[in-house]
Chains A and B, each alone.
Chain A
Amino acid sequence: MNWFKYSSPQSFFPLAGKLALWFGALAAIACAAGLYIGFFVAPTDAQQGEAYRIIFIHVPAAWMSMFLYLVMAFWAGLGLAFNTRLSGMMASAIAPTGALFTFLALWTGSLWGKPTWGTWWVWDARLTSELILLFLYFGFMALQAAIDDPRRADKAGAVLALVGVVNIPIIYFSVKWWNTLHQGASVSLTKAPTMAATMLTGMAVMAFGFWFYSIAAALMRARCIMLERERASEWAVEYARGSA
């Protein structure tokens, strides 16, 4: 298979449309299954009662916020290294969805913190570094929006995105490095998870749901960016005429 076939916007555009549809459908199925497990299969928590059910969106949203940043930085770096047009478009397409999940991680965390910790917000290492992640996303988007030439905007954004990667391990390990109010990881690669199996399953299924959603949303946005940036190309005008 020739992977470079899809490295031009013209040939990637229709593929992205099909993929967005499929991943959107998968996201809907996974989220429906995840919510069913989360609300009807997983038991009530012995200490937190029903408040803990926020976990089924809080943890997947937090995972996605960090994962999407890494994927965004990967595409940005690829664009910087090889000067490929599509890479920069992918990085720009991921940023708003990444910012959305970062906001949701903070929002649901706040609504979970109030009943369990007694506060909406504390300036602890985990929360603060996650807030910095939100500002990194906003900074990336604002920087790109401020530069008229898309290729230069991609380059400037890529440098910011790559420098910001240092924040990801800080968020992840913040609960180990500092004494924080936020609890440590309940799920890790090295130990058995410290939660009921059904809770873990619900969380994992929701994480897949958010992951598929992110792919679908990013591809939809990438298609918009392609149409906007390639407006001088025959294929874009042709496609617009065909879709009337």
Chain B
Amino acid sequence: MNWGSLDNFLAMGGYAFYVWGSYLVTLGLLVAEIVLLALRKRSALARLRLQGTAAQGDR
């Protein structure tokens, strides 16, 4: 498929709002999920480290 120009590509034959509205929300949510998972892992690890330090202090 040859779009001819970037403007034509972005215009999506007049359906830009619907097509890009679908693709951008999909991309945004998938990226957000991965970022949230990375943050969740980081906080789980921080909690474990805190707990480990506390356990060592008890000895």
Enumerate chain A interface residues (CB-CB to B < 8 A).
39-44, 49-51, 53-54, 57-58, 61, 96-97, 100, 103-104, 107-108, 111-112, 114-115, 213, 217, 220-221, 223-224, 227-228, 231, 236-237, 239-241, 243-244
Closest to B19 in A: A53
Q: Nearest Cβ in chain B — how far from A198, in angstroms?
A: 9
User: Is B4's beta carbon under 8 Å from chain A?
Assistant: no
By the criterion CB–CB under 8 Å, are B41 and A223 in contact? yes
Instruction: Report chain B residues within 8 Å CB of A104.
Output: 25-26, 29
By the criterion CB–CB under 8 Å, are B26 and A61 in contact? yes
Contact with A along B1-39 (1 / 0, CB 8 A): 101000001001111011101110110011001100110
By the criterion CB–CB under 8 Å, are B48 and A236 in contact? yes
Enumerate chain B interface residues (CB-CB to A < 8 A).
1, 3, 9, 12-15, 17-19, 21-23, 25-26, 29-30, 33-34, 37-38, 40-41, 44-49, 51-52, 55
Q: Jot down 29 A-B pairs with beta carbons below 8 A, ordered by A.
A: A39-B1, A39-B9, A40-B1, A40-B3, A41-B1, A43-B1, A49-B13, A51-B13, A51-B18, A54-B18, A57-B23, A104-B29, A107-B22, A107-B26, A108-B25, A108-B26, A111-B17, A111-B18, A217-B33, A220-B38, A220-B41, A224-B40, A231-B48, A231-B51, A237-B48, A240-B45, A240-B49, A241-B49, A241-B52
Query: Between A and B, how many residue pairs show CB distances below 8 Å?
Result: 101
Closest to A50 in B: B13
Q: Nearest Cβ in chain A — how far from B46, in angstroms?
A: 8
Instruction: Report chain B residues within 8 Å CB of A42.
Output: 1
If the complex has contacts A49-B15, A51-B19, A104-B25, are A217 and B52 also in contact, measured as CB distance less than 8 A? no
If the complex has contacts A114-B18, A220-B37, are A53 and B48 also in contact, measured as CB distance less than 8 A? no
Q: In the complex, what distance in Å separates the CA atom of A223 from the CA atom of B40?
A: 10
Instruction: Report chain B residues within 8 Å CB of A53.
Output: 12, 19
By the criterion CB–CB under 8 Å, are B45 and A243 in contact? yes
Instruction: Report chain B residues within 8 Å CB of A107.
Output: 22, 25-26
By the criterion CB–CB under 8 Å, are A224 and B1 in contact? no
Q: In the complex, what distance in Å separates the CA atom of A50 from the CA atom of B13?
A: 6
Instruction: Report chain A residues within 8 Å CB of B9.
Output: 39
Q: Nearest Cβ in chain B — how far from A57, in angstroms?
A: 5
Instruction: Report chain A residues within 8 Å CB of B55.
Output: 237
Closest to B47 in A: A231
By the criterion CB–CB under 8 Å, are B33 and A96 in contact? yes
